[in-house]
Amino acid sequence: MIIIGEKINGSIPRTATAIAEKNEKYIRSLAKKQVAAKADFLDVCASVSPEKELETLKWLIDLVQSETDVPISLDSPNADIFKEAITYCKKPGIINSVSMEGDKIDQVFPVIANTGWKVVALLCDNSGIPQNAEQRITVFKEIMKKAESYKIDPSRIFVDPVVEMLCTSEDGIAKITETIKTVKELYPTIHVTSGASNISFNLPVRKFINRSFIILCMGAGMDSAIIDPTNEDMLGLIYAAEALLGRDEMCMDYINAFRDGLFGKPS
């Protein structure tokens, strides 16, 4: 499982406060804790006004890189900032994200074409979020055409199927799991990722919805998640699912994660 640590994000109130107050210690601690929890990438999202975004990102990225060499997931709704922002990063990470909306892809793909950068691709376009799996796959195929034209290998792409809230869904996450299966069938080396919290919007005890959601998506072929890796319950279930899905020989990753104190209490 490829874990993208979500905590350095200005849309999280405590992180927003730390950004506003230039609280270096707090941002460093978020980086350190997520790395200790074996995050593969650290998402960095400023979530400030556009004119302050680049300088805020630079401040965040410099802080993170002074703590760790775990690569950055560069997170912004504004595709035009990535070209500059990747120059702040010491090593290639993930662009989070592009989609078929506007000219996002044509702005971003040329920039990362001959680099080691990976990219999260949301399955939506100018008409918004597709209503079903079939329409998501239509958008997906358009994205892959673009990727091919820029020679971006499928293994560098993290597909995000775009999850909407469960409480208004008529068939649960059927369209999401169907999308994941089809995407992995079409491109076995591609990655599939998702956040874990949109799904539970407006529902009580959101953690249960979030956790079951990630496990069911893993069962459909998802191999990455944008989560808080310091949440032991979520992380433990994910390591368990990896072993159950036959992706962890002799459960050694699960056992070692326990021994390293990532979840549970070593006896």
Which residues of this chain interact with its own copies, rule CB under 8 A? 166-174, 177, 199, 203-205, 207-209, 211-213, 215-216, 218-220, 233, 236-237, 239-241, 243-248, 250-251, 254-255, 258, 263-264, 266-267
Own/partner long-range contacts of 252-255 (Cβ < 8 Å, ≥24 apart): none
Whole-number CA gyration radius for the chain: 18
Own/partner long-range contacts of 103-110 (Cβ < 8 Å, ≥24 apart): 103/79, 104/79, 105/143, 105/146, 106/146, 107/79, 107/80, 107/82, 107/83, 108/79, 108/82, 109/146, 109/147, 109/150, 109/152, 110/150
As measured in angstroms, the least distance from the Cβ of 75 to its own copies is 26
Nearer to its own copies, 16 or 165 (CB): 165
Nearer to its own copies, 186 or 255 (CB): 255
Nearer to its own copies, 42 or 192 (CB): 192
d(CA 96, CA 225): 13
Nearer to its own copies, 141 or 247 (CB): 247
As measured in angstroms, the least distance from the Cβ of 34 to its own copies is 20
Nearer to its own copies, 28 or 181 (CB): 181
As measured in angstroms, the least distance from the Cβ of 42 to its own copies is 24
As measured in angstroms, the least distance from the Cβ of 170 to its own copies is 8
Q: CB-based burial of residue 36 (10 Å sphere; 0-12 exposed, 13-18 middle, 19+ buried)?
A: middle
Q: How far is CA 35 from CA 10, 78, 86, 134, 159, in A?
A: 19, 27, 20, 37, 23
Which residues have a Cβ under 8 Å from the Cβ of 238 and sit 6 or more positions away?
Answer: 1, 3, 214, 215, 218, 225, 227
Nearer to its own copies, 56 or 193 (CB): 193
As measured in angstroms, the least distance from the Cβ of 68 to its own copies is 26
As measured in angstroms, the least distance from the Cβ of 211 to its own copies is 6
As measured in angstroms, the least distance from the Cβ of 103 to its own copies is 35
d(CA 158, CA 81): 20
Nearer to its own copies, 183 or 241 (CB): 241
